[in-house]
Each structure stands twice: as C-alpha cells, then as structure tokens.
Structure 1
C-alpha cells in the first residue's frame, strides 16, 4: 500500500499488522513498545501511522455508504417488481397459482392499528418512558453553580497538528 508518509521498515510492518484484523491487540502493543528510537522520532512515526489509519478508515466509511446506497436501490427494485406482480395478479383475477418453480397467492395481512384520535387513547396503552438526563444543559448549569450531585472534570487528550 502506498502511504502518504515515508515510514521506516519497522513502522511499515506495524502498519500492516494494524490493518490485519486477526492480530492480537496485545501483540500490536508489544510491537509498538519494542520499536527503537527517541520519543520525538517515535511521535512522528506514530502520527504518520495515525494519519494513515484514519485515511483507511475514511475510505472504508465511503465504501460502506456506497454499498448502503446500492443495497437500497436493489431492495427498492425488488419491492417494485413484487408490487408489479401483485397488481398484475389482481388485474387478471389470478390470486393463487403455482408454476414449476414457485407458488403465488395474494393473502390478507395481519390487521394493523391506525390511530384516529391519539388524545383519546387510554393511559394503559401508553409505554412509560424513563427520564433521560440532558448532560449538555447540566454542564451549562454546573459551570456557574457547583453542586454536590455532579461536577465538571477536565481531562487531557493528545492533539496532533
């Protein structure tokens, strides 16, 4: 695989291991820790690995979206053909028949509920919902109002520029 950055042989092998989903994460960690070099050189090479892996992830996500769109088109086409066949059977009056390969029949579907006046439905038919915490709103409140039931916590994370 051609990479954007020039990687040392050790890091190129590590990249190949990371792209292989059969490699044990502990083996990856041990290999990463075993690579020689000063922290600055390791940091540069790690940043190159991160960028490369993120690039691969982006390509995979784009392919997933493309395949989802293709799946939807194919599924919609199958539905259209089924509706066409159903209409043709109804129009010709042939609601049930068999061929050498398949059996066809038009049958009634199970009854479905149609809501006409939602406000008149008795309470027993409603599903009770658990309250859900709005953490964004709570965070705003906690910035100016310290409380004993919750607090703000500052964490750290690596940023690569």
Structure 2
C-alpha cells in the first residue's frame, strides 16, 4: 500500500521532533529525514503534475463553455429575429392563430406595461429610494498598510502554491 503525502509529512515532522532527543544519534535522524524528503519530493511532483493536468483540462472546458455560450447567444438572437418576423407578418395580414398537428401559433396580447415619458414628472408617491453602500477595500488596504487603524477591518496575508 502506498504511503499518503500527509502520512509522510507526519513522519517527517516526527523525525524533526526526534532531533531534539539528545540520545538519538544525529546520523540516524539525518538518514530518516533524507529518505522522507525523497518520498515527499516524488509525491509532491506527482501531485503537482496532476494539478497542472486538471487546471489545463479545466481551461479547455472553460474555452469550450465560452464557444458554446457564443453559439447559444447567436441561436437565441436568430430565433428572436425569426419570432419577430413571424409576428410582424401575421399581424400585417391580420391572422391571430394558425393550428397544426405539431403546435398552435398565436399572436396574443401582452399585459399592459408602464412607459415612463418623463421620470422627473412622476409623483413622489410612486418613487422609492434605494441606498447601496460599497466598501472601498482597496482604500482600507492602503490605510492599513500605511499603519492606520480601520475599525472592523484587518489585513491577512495567506500563502499559495505556485507551480512553475
């Protein structure tokens, strides 16, 4: 059975802890660390190769999604144009309904909709105020980096895995 990376890391950490034991010969600890380092390197390389493969495949899928999205939008636009064309032609010759075994084509009345000719002339009773507050994270970051305190915010710096 193959040893998992986290198990190797645990063994490596244990060997490092044993370095503190004065009764253990240093060459034994060094040999153990060296063997585990080799295993860690191989495991890490295999995982990195798998990561790069997955990220590459994910990128290919993203590109395919974009192509499909463009194609979908083109088909939707073409269908909307044909729908408008059919409606205009049926209205032009005053046909409201066509029946066939497959489907029924109808020109129907839509529900009424409001058209605003002049928004400023609309009475206040029909106006609603919305307030949106956006937090300037970049401004907060600059203030914190400059040494200022910003109530309710702090800086965190994380690590990331870089495979190059």
Query: TM-score scaled by structure 2?
Result: 0.67
CA pair 42-128 structure 1, distance change in 2 beyond 3 A: same
Aligned 1:1-161 pairs, distance under 5 A: 33=6, 38-121=39-122, 122=124, 125-147=127-149, 149=151, 150-161=153-164
CA pair 31-60 structure 1, distance change in 2 beyond 3 A: farther
Q: Which runs of 5+ in 1 are unaligned?
A: 1-9, 11-29
Residues 69-118 of structure 1 show CA distances to partners (whole Å, capped at 9, x for unaligned) of 11112222221221121122112221234233332222221222323333
Once the two structures are TM-superposed, the CA of residue 157 in structure 1 deviates from its matched residue by 2.0
Q: CA RMSD in A?
A: 2.8
Q: Which runs of 5+ in 2 are unaligned?
A: 9-35
Residues 110-147 of structure 1 show CA distances to partners (whole Å, capped at 9, x for unaligned) of 22232333344427632523422121121112221421
Paired residues, number: 133
The structure having more radius of gyration, on CA atoms, is 2
Query: TM-score scaled by structure 1?
Result: 0.68
